[in-house]
Amino acid sequence: MDELGIIKQLINKLGQGKVLTDDELKARYSHIWEMDRPLQAKALLLPDSTEDLVIIMKTCYQFGQPVVVHGGLTNLVGSTQSSNQDVVISMEKMNRILEVDEDNRTLTVEAGAILENIQQAAWNKNLMFPLNFGAKGSAQIGGAISTNAGGLKVFKYGMTRNLVLGLEVVLADGTLISSLKKLIKDNTGYDLKQLFIGAEGTLGIITKAVLKLIEKPRSRNSALLAFEDYNRVVKTLKWLESNLAGTLSAYEVLWQVTYRPMAAAVFGNNLPLAPDFPYYVLMETSGADQEKDRQRLEHLLSDALDQEMITDAAPSDSPAQQEQLWELREHMDHVVALCQHDQHFDISLPIGQIEEYVLGVLMELDKLPFVRECYVFGHMADGNIHLIVDKTKQGKETINAVNEVVYAPIQSYGGSVSAEHGIGMHKKAYLHYSRSPEEIGLMQSLKQMMDPLGILNKGKIL
């Protein structure tokens, strides 16, 4: 069937206002970092209901038309890249928060809802949705579910899949799978929603979700810690866990090379801790009594100093200072601004082997003449480390050379080339470092079974 035929059908079925073509695409883009590049697409569709999406997918399946799904456009692995042969589906109009159920502690939401709006809706009911990361102001929940996003509180509350109770999904042929249950326990055969969580839109398009909420913590205390060596970072994590009775909610590590520019950007000359230590940790506790929890944390930090586990500490003494401390992790754009050409990585390793891996990677990167710096930081408590590599030039050869340095050692550590960002387009060539041929074969079989025409986010992951 011809190209004009599918566009005409989509306009007839959806209405002119939901189908953008030609010059209307010039103001659209595929990533928030590439807003100066017009979107490459045959058309951009703006469904505002599940019914619209069913119509879209039935029509696209009939024509064998590849589709690319757009959420908040904050991904880091090329998941939203498209060509002039693709139809792009934006979920931005399906952004409603449908229900906050206080008794069952659930929130039902459309896939295009912004994460920060979801957090606020739960907070207004004295509940909390604990998924949290720097792009919360623009990231959509459907994208977070599709990539199984992580963030700053995975250590305590788990990845996105741990916070999803039910899903509604439209398959490649337009079939609607709706299981918007609020159940924590449902042991009735295959847990089908798990097929779509982390699948990056390659098996189906998420339209609605039931999210798990928790009671809003009554206290929040943070502190910045300094360490002389990585072994003490690990030892202190275990020690704090055992002494904080389950209230430790975040434990984020920054290497000195990352702390220095971040602290200068956030605090200016009034640094909370001197910039001379090899490692820094930003930690947080969540509890039930602000004053008692603050006193307990300060007492523990004093003990840790006495035992020489930590070298220095700066507890927050006000909510405003606490927010400022967390800017050290939530606003990595300060580091990105220093880079000429930045390349981002999120890898996962056993906690005890992170230092050895990082030292090896830094040594190999130092041999590449176009690498200026490598900024290291991450969610150390769950084994997830991020690297931002600054280069003097950009190009396929330099990208591939850095990729090989970062990804090649991961297999020997039993690690992952993607802790939380997904595979998308950029990591496909390195998937074999984390997955066996048999695993990849099974993934391909699932894709073929559920999307036999290969039209859903074509070229992503596999």
Q: Say if 258 falls within a structural domain.
A: yes
Q: Report how far residue 177's alpha carbon sits from residue 204's, in angstroms, rounded to the nearest whole number.
A: 9
Q: For residues 181-190, give the mean pLDDT.
A: 94
Residue 35, SS3? coil
Same domain, 176 and 115: yes
Work out the angle between the directed axes of helices 319-330 and 256-267 (0-180°, nearest 10): 130
Q: For residues 317-346, give the mean pLDDT.
A: 93
| Phi, then psi, of 334 in degrees rounded to 5 | -60, -40
The pLDDT tens digits of the residues spanning 281-321 come to 999 999 999 999 999 999 999 999 999 999 999 999 899 99
**What average pLDDT does the chain have?**
95
Same domain, 87 and 128: no
Interior angle at CA 347, CA 341 and CA 352, nearest 5: 130
Longest dimension (CA), the chain: 75
Interior angle at CA 248, CA 242 and CA 249, nearest 5: 150
**Residue 342: what pLDDT?**
96
Same domain, 395 and 438: yes
**Residue 254 near residue 166 (C-beta atoms within 8 A):** no
Q: Say if 460 falls within a structural domain.
A: no
Q: Report how far residue 186's alpha carbon sits from residue 17's, in angstroms, rounded to the nearest whole number.
A: 41
The domain that holds 186 is classified in CATH as 3.30.465.10
The pLDDT tens digits of the residues spanning 147-172 come to 999 988 888 899 999 999 999 999 99
Same domain, 228 and 118: no
Q: Say if 459 falls within a structural domain.
A: no
**Residue 3: what pLDDT?**
59
User: Which of 215, 245, 267 lies at the terminal end of a domain, its last residue?
Assistant: 215
Q: For residues 211-232, give the mean pLDDT.
A: 96
Same domain, 163 and 271: no
The domain that holds 287 is classified in CATH as 3.30.70.2190
**Residue 157: what pLDDT?**
92
Q: For residues 413-436, give the mean pLDDT.
A: 94
Q: How many domains does the chain have?
A: 4
10 Å Cβ neighbour count for 151?
Answer: 24
Same domain, 291 and 380: no
Same domain, 350 and 432: yes
Reply yes or no on whether the pLDDT at 119 is more than 80.
yes
Q: Is 203 exposed, middle or buried (0-12, 13-18, 19+ CB in 10 A)?
A: buried
Taking CA atoms, 15 is separated from 2, 10, 24, 84, 245, in Å, by 20, 8, 15, 22, 57
Strand partners, 347: 385
Q: For residues 203-217, give the mean pLDDT.
A: 97
User: Which of 186, 215, 244 lies at the terminal end of a domain, its last residue?
Assistant: 215
Here the tokens at position 46 are 């703006």
**Residue 317: what pLDDT?**
86
Q: Report how far residue 303's alpha carbon sits from residue 292's, in angstroms, rounded to the nearest whole number.
A: 17
Same domain, 305 and 402: no
More confident: 230 or 74 = 230
Q: Say if 227 falls within a structural domain.
A: yes
The pLDDT tens digits of the residues spanning 363-410 come to 999 999 999 999 999 998 999 999 999 999 999 999 999 999 999 999
Q: What percentage of the chain exceeds 70 in pLDDT?
A: 99
Q: Say if 201 falls within a structural domain.
A: yes
Same domain, 8 and 118: no
Same domain, 195 and 245: no
Q: Say if 261 falls within a structural domain.
A: yes
Same domain, 113 and 149: yes
Q: Say if 457 falls within a structural domain.
A: no
Here the tokens at position 110 are 């459309």
Same domain, 352 and 416: yes
**Residue 1: what pLDDT?**
44
Per-residue DSSP letter, 132 = -
Q: Note the pTM of the prediction, 2 decimals.
A: 0.93
Which residues constitute the domain of residue 128?
Answer: 97-215
**Residue 225 near residue 283 (C-beta atoms within 8 A):** yes
* DSSP code string of 320-345: HHHHHHHHHHH-THHHHTT-SEEEEE
Q: Say if 168 falls within a structural domain.
A: yes
**Residue 461 near residue 200 (C-beta atoms within 8 A):** yes
**Residue 35: what pLDDT?**
84
Q: Which of 278, 374, 387, 259 is nearest to 327 (CA)?
A: 259
**Residue 279 near residue 358 (C-beta atoms within 8 A):** no
Q: What confidence category does residue 4 fall into, taking pLDDT thresholds of 50, 70 and 90?
A: low
**Residue 301: what pLDDT?**
96
Q: For residues 222-238, give the mean pLDDT.
A: 97
Q: Report how far residue 434's alpha carbon sits from residue 5's, in angstroms, rounded to the nearest whole number.
A: 42
Q: For residues 329-351, give the mean pLDDT.
A: 94
User: Which of 215, 245, 268 lies at the terminal end of a domain, its last residue?
Assistant: 215
Reply yes or no on whether the pLDDT at 102 is more than 90.
yes
Tell me how far apart the terminal alpha carbons of the chain are, to the nearest angstrom. Answer: 27
Taking CA atoms, 423 is separated from 54, 288, 459, in Å, by 26, 39, 11
The domain that holds 360 is classified in CATH as 3.30.70.2740
**Residue 12: what pLDDT?**
95
